[in-house]
Each structure stands twice: as structure tokens, then as C-alpha cells.
Structure 1
Amino acid sequence: MTLDTPFDEGDLCAVRARIRSGEFTAPTSRCAPGRMQVNMVILPSEQAETFRAFCDANPRPCPLLAVSAPGDPRLPVLGPDIDVRTDLPGYRVWENGAITDEPINITTLWRDDLVAFALGCSFGFDAAVAAAGIEVPHVTQGRNVPMYDSTIALTRAGVFGGTMVVSLRRFLQDRLNEVVEISRRFPQCHGAPVHVGDPAEIGILDIEQPDYGDPPVGTGVPVFWACGVTPQAALRRARLPFAITHSPGKMLVCDVPATYGEILNIAS
């Protein structure tokens, strides 16, 4: 499956089946427009309380939507048949702050003490922007969104801290206010931008060289949103013995909609 092969809108059965089989391993920005997509962090239960405190302290980059019970790979509030071991197109395995593997399935790595955290993703508002007649270039071109380490400070919780990762989209000036207002209606998908304009003001010296994802496409004003890859930067700094995350841009596609103004207050 190539990057330029989108799924049919709303075809969740096809999305999940092709991801579970390992047939689709690309970024999910074009999958099931209008459905919630989530970032994933999977940690041993001994770190779960501290990580949840980190999310609560930093809701813009870490909008927490759901938390699994220890050892349970399901997230039924996001979809009755979701299995976090198989339903993402790509994973990262972290050991002592370093990526040691990037599998497409983590069934053999699953343990009874693991807790899965689902965090909202900016892909959730991309469809609404497109529906307003505004091109979202990385979506239309089937590319991964560019993401950067910034100098925007996070609120520390235990071993988790550091600076925010941000994602970039470029829009023409005459549509910029509209884009900002649309994204503001999606607080569960990072909400309004955290920065508009000069990338250097948030520590990004070369916009053409993202730290994650593909180089930017399109023209216009650079607009930056908080990004759910932020926990991966925090994991790198924390140097935990073991953790699993999604691979940037390769999200869990959920059954629930990403709708205007709806805060999915379902984390438990």
C-alpha cells in the first residue's frame, strides 16, 4: 500500500483490516476523514500515574482521551474491537531513551503490566479544514505532516518534561483566521495553533528539515500546532527502561468522530 492510496471515507472496516494484516503501513492522514485518530503511548503500570499527571499538566500536546486497564490491549470507548497491539500501522519500541525497534505489530511484546494511553491528534481537524474548502497540502499529497522539536517549555511531572513537539501546516493569509477558528473547535485534537509565523521564534532554524515526518509542502504562512509526538521527546529524556509508542504520523484510527466543539471526556 502506497502513500497515495487513501481509504474510502468512513470505511473503518477496511482501514482496520488492512492495518491489522500489515498491508497498510503508511501515515494515516488520509484514512477515514472525520474520525478521531490518536497518538499512542504504552508504559509499564509503575510509570502510568506519573505519565497521566504529565498529560493533565500539558493538555495542548497531550489531550488524553482514553487509558486502558493494566494488561488490557482494548480501548472500547474509542471502538469496540480496537486492539492496540495490532491496529496501528507502525510502532516504536523504546529502551533507556533510545528507539530499538519499529515493528508493525507488538503482540509478542505485550505484557500484563502495560497501560495504553490514547492522545488526540491534529489529523482530527484536518478534514474539517478541507471541508471548508481550504487545502491541507500534506493530506492532498499523501505525505506525512512535518513535525519539529521546539523550545516551548512543558510543565514537568516526575521524570517527564522538556519541550514541545509541534506540527506544521502552511496556509494563505486570507484563510488563516478561518483555519485557526476551525482548529480551536477541536480541543481534543490539540485545539488552536501554539505559534503562527517565524519558526525561529520557537527554536526551529530550518523549516525544510523536520525532526519527524516529511518536509513541508504548500505555500503560505507557517502555522504550528502542539503535537502528540511530544511524549516521545519526553520519553527520550526520561530514559525509561521500556516503552512503546506509535510511529510519527501512523495513528490509531478510531470509531468515534472528531466533531466540532466536542471534548471526548472519556479518559478513566
Structure 2
Amino acid sequence: LGQDAQANIALIRQTMGQVLDDLPAPASQLEAMHRLLLRHACEADITLDLHCDFDAAIHLYALPQHWPQWQSLAARLKAGVALLCEDSGGSSFDESCSSPWLRLARAFPEAAIPPANLATTLELGSMGDTRVDQAQANCEAILGFLAEQGFITGTWPAAPGECCEGMPFEGTEYLFAPHHGVVSFLRNSGEWVEKGDALFEVVDPLSDRVTTVRAGTSGVLFAIDRGRYTQPGTWQAKVAGREVIRVGKLVND
């Protein structure tokens, strides 16, 4: 590794591929698929890990160092929030692609090692978002971003000037059901809520017990569960706030 950034990128990518190729044979088809995807992603400049949540606003997960580069994509998609963290504790796919470049740059400060894999987990709204026009709009947003970055040719509208806020993933609050019952949501995903706002009620049909669950932080209610009958310990809502309220493992699965 030296001062030639492009030579360093080529060497690091080659070494990453060799390490993956030298691993023992995968123990399952799922592990083989994980390894194949990571093998392809190691050679990529941009990695988009596309998902959808249960009932959610469009949102994305990324390293805080990369948020400036992702703002155009978030604006094009009209995302509700970006959740930023360098290590969520879950070995997520996007962090597995992006974080090694940060660690190498810190381990070899004398070498020119740029962040050569810009990766994000992109949650394209809800599982029930199957309208063709919405899917087409999301595709146009992603293609417009890729064209803007110089990866494809074509003409797309410029990114909107307004963009969602990037929040620390450590500021995300998970709200859980306190007991069994039917869940009645009082707010919709994508809304801004204030601390103390009622988000949902849990009604036990056997005992008539009713409990109202309120937000413990102000922020974007970016996802709610799809189930309407729940049990204690099951998350029902996620609120992305500006203030850090959690440490350690941040992902819920």
C-alpha cells in the first residue's frame, strides 16, 4: 500500500476476493449465497442492499461518513430519514462492505485508502407498497442517482433541494407491547412525533386491559409492525430521534 489510491483499491479488492475464495466450503445454500453476494460487492463502487419494512416510510442505513454522498439519493426517493452508524452490532451487509475501508485507512494512515465502497441498506417503504407507479418512481430515483454519480448514461431530473435528516442510529427508539392484545395504531409511519405522543394502544380482549404506549423521544416514526395482535416484547414502532439513547447492539434482529 502506498500513495497511489487507485493501485491501493485494486490491491485491496484483489486481497478481499482471495480471502473469500480461500474460506472453507459453505455449510448451506444460504451461506453460499451470502458469500457470493459479498464477493460481488467487494468489487463495487456503490452497493445498494434493497429491502422493504413492514409498514414504513422510505429510509436508509449508512455510515455517518458517507451521508453527504447519499443525500442526493435520499432526496430523490423522498426518504423520511437516514439512520447513521458506523457499527450497529449486527454485521449488516452494508457495513460489511463499507467498514473495512474505514478500518484499513485507520490502520495504515500513511497510505492513500479512500472509502472505495459506498454501501447502504435501503428500505423502499412497506411490504404492501406494490403500486406500479410507486415502483417506477423509486426506479427512476435510483437510476437518476447512478447517472449523477457517472455510473450510467442518460438524462434524469436534478435531485430535489430538500432532503430528510440524517439521525444517529443510536437515537432510534423501539417501542414494545407491554402485554398481549390487539394493537391499534394512533399515528402513521413517516410522521414526526414528539416525546410523550400516544403512538398505539394495546387492548387485551380477555381482561379489557387497555394500555397506551407513548414516544420516549421526539423524531420520525419511520416504521410500525404489520401485525395487529401482539405479545409482550414484540416491537410495534420505531422512532428515529436526534438524541443518542442507546449503546451496544442497535439492530433488533
Tell whether the structures are fold-level matches, with TM greater than 0.5: no
Name the structure, 1 or 2, with higher relative contact order (CA <8 Å, separation 6+). Answer: 1
Of structures 1 and 2, the larger Rg is shown by 2
TM-score norm. by structure 1 comes to 0.25
TM-score norm. by structure 2 comes to 0.26
1 or 2, which has the higher helix percentage? Answer: 2
